[in-house]
């Protein structure tokens, strides 16, 4: 049995370093531009991402890129971060629906969705696989990202309906939609072709850089009072 540790290449280390720096940049930009309290859960999510990045790096250097330890830590931490992102998303819902005083309903709906997704994923894997734990976490991540995508899509619909015009909020939601859709597509592809595991994780690391960069850009460049008419973004002018 080959016990050599496959260490990450320079490119993979660079992607990891850049992604971690971008995550730190989101917190710095939010603090510097005075929007940390407004987007507290998003900033805390980025803080959690930094901690997870460091933990992954420790496992990566200790056990190697293709080790089962790294794969387990990667997928489980990813599922936990996605659950955290759900709560950040719930916070965005609360901001958009603030006029309707629907915070309690949003919180209840988030918890319900989380439980339903986990149960559904468990059910699917229990029916189909003998390697329950490893399949479960990939199935759960795929479903979590997909449900996240659907929930973000509904939030975008709410933004259009409520005529929300805050540019920062609009860009945060749209970038979240891009992020969820890319991840959901990647996990689905990974589920369709399990042999793509070795490509899937590096690809996810590159995609993972998008969200912190997009948020850092939004917090840094877009003033808090900037306004955009969302309906104009969604229509084709003739």
Partner 1 sequence: MMAAFIFVVSVVIFLQFFVFYCRSLIAVSAKQPLSPEVQEVTGIQRAASGDDFKRVMQLLHLCPERPEDRKGIQAVGAYFQLLNLVASTVARWIPSTKSWTDSERGHCTYFAAIALERRISFSREMLAQQMDS
Contact track, partner 1, 10-29, x by CB under 8 A: ---------------x----
Measured in whole angstroms, the distance separating CA 197 from the mean position of its chain's CA atoms is 19
Instruction: Give whichever of 4 and 232 is closer to partner 1, judged by the CB atom.
Output: 232
Check residue 228 for interaction with partner 1 (CB under 8 A).
Answer: yes
Least separation in angstroms between CB 184 and partner 1 = 4
233, 44 contact by CB (below 8 A) = no
Check residue 221 for interaction with partner 1 (CB under 8 A).
Answer: yes
Least separation in angstroms between CB 189 and partner 1 = 6
Helices (H), the chain: 10-32, 40-63, 68-96, 103-128, 132-162, 167-192, 197-208, 210-221, 230-234
Instruction: Give whichever of 48 and 189 is closer to partner 1, judged by the CB atom.
Output: 189
129, 194 contact by CB (below 8 A) = no
Q: Which residues have C-beta within 8 Å of that of residue 22, sequence separation ≥ 6?
A: 209, 212, 213, 216
**Which of 61, 76, 181, 206: binder of partner 1 (CB under 8 A)?**
181
**Which of 188, 196, 203, 206: binder of partner 1 (CB under 8 A)?**
188
32, 225 contact by CB (below 8 A) = no
Instruction: Give whichever of 77 and 142 is closer to partner 1, judged by the CB atom.
Output: 142
Q: What are phi and psi of 39, to 5 degrees?
A: -115, 45
Rounded Cα–Cα distance for residues 92 and 106 (Å)? 10
Rounded Cα–Cα distance for residues 16 and 177 (Å)? 22
Check residue 167 for interaction with partner 1 (CB under 8 A).
Answer: yes
Helices (H), 97-166: 103-128, 132-162
Residues in 142-161 that interact with partner 1 by CB under 8 A:
142-143, 146, 149, 152-153, 156
**Which of 44, 102, 122, 177: binder of partner 1 (CB under 8 A)?**
177
Check residue 131 for interaction with partner 1 (CB under 8 A).
Answer: no
Dihedral in degrees, nearest 10, Cα atoms 171, 221, 167, 149: 10
Sole window of 8-16, 40-48, 86-94, 209-217 interacting with partner 1 (rule: CB under 8 A)? 209-217
230, 170 contact by CB (below 8 A) = yes
Q: Which residues bind partner 1 (CB under 8 A)?
A: 25, 124, 142-143, 146, 149, 152-153, 156, 167, 170-171, 174-175, 177-178, 181-182, 184-185, 187-189, 191-192, 209-210, 213-214, 216-217, 220-222, 226, 228, 232-234, 236-238
């Amino acid at each position: 049995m080959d016990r050599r540790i496959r260490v990450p290449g320079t490119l993979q280390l660079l992607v990891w370093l850049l992604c971690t720096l971008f995550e730190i940049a989101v917190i710095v930009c939010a603090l510097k531009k005075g929007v940390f309290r407004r987007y507290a859960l998003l900033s805390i999510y980025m803080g959690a991402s930094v901690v997870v990045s460091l933990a992954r790096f420790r496992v990566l250097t200790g056990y190697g890129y293709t080790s089962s330890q790294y794969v387990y830590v990667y997928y489980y931490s990813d599922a936990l971060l996605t659950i955290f992102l759900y709560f950040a998303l719930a916070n965005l819902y609360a901001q958009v629906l603030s006029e309707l005083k629907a915070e309690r309903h949003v919180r209840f709906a988030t918890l319900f969705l989380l439980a339903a997704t986990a149960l559904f994923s468990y059910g699917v894997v229990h029916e189909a696989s003998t390697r329950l734990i490893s399949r479960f976490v990939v199935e759960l991540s795929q479903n979590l990202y997909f449900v996240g995508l659907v929930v973000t899509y509904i939030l975008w619909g709410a933004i259009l309906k409520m005529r929300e015009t805050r540019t920062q909020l609009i860009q945060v939601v749209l970038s979240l939609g891009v992020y969820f859709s890319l991840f959901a597509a990647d996990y689905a592809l990974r589920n369709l072709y399990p042999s793509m595991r070795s490509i899937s994780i590096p690809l996810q690391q590159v995609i993972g850089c998008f969200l912190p960069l997009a948020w850092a850009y939004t917090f840094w460049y877009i003033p808090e009072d900037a306004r955009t008419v969302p309906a104009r973004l969604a229509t084709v002018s003739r």
